[in-house]
């Protein structure tokens, strides 16, 4: 299991890499992500959209890191919009979180993969580290 100091050290290294080599960051983020498949509910995150009663979407996670989560759903989600993600507590015991959609790509005619960034990094100490 990782400790908080390990996370602090790793974030410092990532910040250093951001300044010198943007390509290296993507490799670190992929390595740092924990592959986990869990059901999620995705709801609109801004007040005006929630007031209109926008639909709730179901999806499944592909991987999660302290900063990001990838979700596959049957609908495309709008890049730049905020959402609330609610995780299936049995499979992925994380609290609901506000996220920003930073990418969406077509996987098939009925599947879309959206990438979200957490507004506040999540604590993954409750998950086994499958990448070690």
> pLDDT digits over 60-100, tens only?
999 999 999 999 999 888 899 999 999 988 888 899 999 99
| pLDDT greater than 70 at residue 8 | no
Asked whether 45 and 82 are in contact (CB, 8 A), the reply is: yes
> pLDDT digits over 18-37, tens only?
565 555 444 444 457 888 89
Domain chopping of the chain, boundaries: 1-32, 34-132
| pLDDT greater than 60 at residue 40 | yes
pLDDT of residue 29: 46
Q: Is the Cα torsion angle 42, 47, 48, 52 positive or negative in sign?
A: positive
> pLDDT digits over 99-131, tens only?
999 999 999 888 999 999 999 998 888 776 554
Q: Domain 34-132 sits in which CATH superfamily?
A: predicted glycosyltransferase like domains (2.40.10.220)
Q: What is the pTM of this model?
A: 0.70
DSSP 54: P
């Amino acid at each position: 299991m990782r400790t908080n100091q390990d996370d602090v050290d790793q974030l410092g290294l990532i910040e250093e890499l951001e300044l010198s080599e943007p390509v290296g960051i993507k490799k670190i983020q992929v390595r740092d992500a924990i592959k986990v498949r869990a059901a999620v509910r995705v709801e609109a995150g801004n007040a005006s959209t929630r007031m209109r009663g926008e639909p709730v979407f179901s999806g499944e996670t592909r991987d999660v890191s302290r900063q990001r989560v990838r979700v596959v759903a049957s609908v495309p989600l709008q890049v730049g919009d905020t959402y609330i993600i609610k995780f299936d507590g049995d499979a992925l015991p994380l609290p609901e979180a506000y996220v920003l959609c930073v990418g969406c790509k077509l996987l098939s005619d009925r599947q879309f993969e959206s990438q979200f960034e957490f507004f506040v990094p999540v604590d993954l100490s409750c998950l086994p580290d499958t990448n070690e």
